[in-house]
Amino acid sequence: MARAVIIGVDIEAGNGSPTNWNSYSIGNVGSALSNLTREDGSSSGVSFTLFGVTSTQNFSVSSAALVPSHPIDLTSVCCDILFDGPNPTLARWSGLTPLATYRYWVFTSSAADDSITVTGDNVDAFASPDVSEDSQRINGVVGDSALTFASYARQVTASAAGTIEIAILSGGTPTPSGYAIEPVAANAGPAAPIPTLSEWTLISLAALLGLSGVAAARRRRQR
């Protein structure tokens, strides 16, 4: 069963990656980065692949106020991008729990209007409006230190093959700078069912019979 801990992938071109986030460089493009590390340092068995991108670029987020709060500092996710690739740019998570629900985050940085489509067993699509390149969008919303990273999450269900694909269609050039995913707690399985009235009656009767047996045994010992 998947553990409810974030798995982060940081596009890396020299600015470093957050603690226990997985670094994905231009040399990885087209190949799977396998058995990704979770934020708690454990191995996940999950893989990530980005397709077709050919160039990297460094930039710095203009203010710490644009980086959402999180137990791990995410500033460096806002600093490197991959671009000069196909439009749309495609990324894929694989090795996920089939048909399980996941929270996800997509970081983009281009000064262009983007349309992002996330596909698993269902489809989640949203717009990511134009912002300056020294800002950071997370699932289409500009980062804000007054908000938690968790509050930016969207949800999608993994396919029967255990995959989720993310396509970024841009009015300019798609510029992803990071991706993250986390199984929702509900994937741990359903809660134990609450007994019905008839079941409670049987439980109570069994308890009474047990007590009666104990009392009878005590009387025999006292004789």
92 and 138 share one domain: yes
pLDDT for 20-75, tens place per residue? 999 988 777 888 999 999 999 999 999 999 887 766 666 666 578 888 999 999 98
**Number of domains observed in the structure of the chain:** 2
Q: Which domain holds residue 203?
A: 196-223
pTM of the predicted structure, to 2 decimals: 0.78
pLDDT at 128: 84
Average pLDDT, the chain: 80
130 and 159 share one domain: yes
For residue 178, tell me if it sits in a domain.
yes
61 and 128 share one domain: yes
177 and 206 share one domain: no
201 and 122 share one domain: no
Q: What is the DSSP track for 171-214?
A: SS---EEEEEEEE-GGGG-PPPPPPPHHHHHHHHHHHHHHHHHH
For residue 1, tell me if it sits in a domain.
no
118: pLDDT strictly greater than 90? yes
What's the CA gap between 153 and 80, in Å, rounded? Answer: 21
96 and 145 share one domain: yes
CA distances from 35 to 28, 52, 95 (A): 14, 22, 9
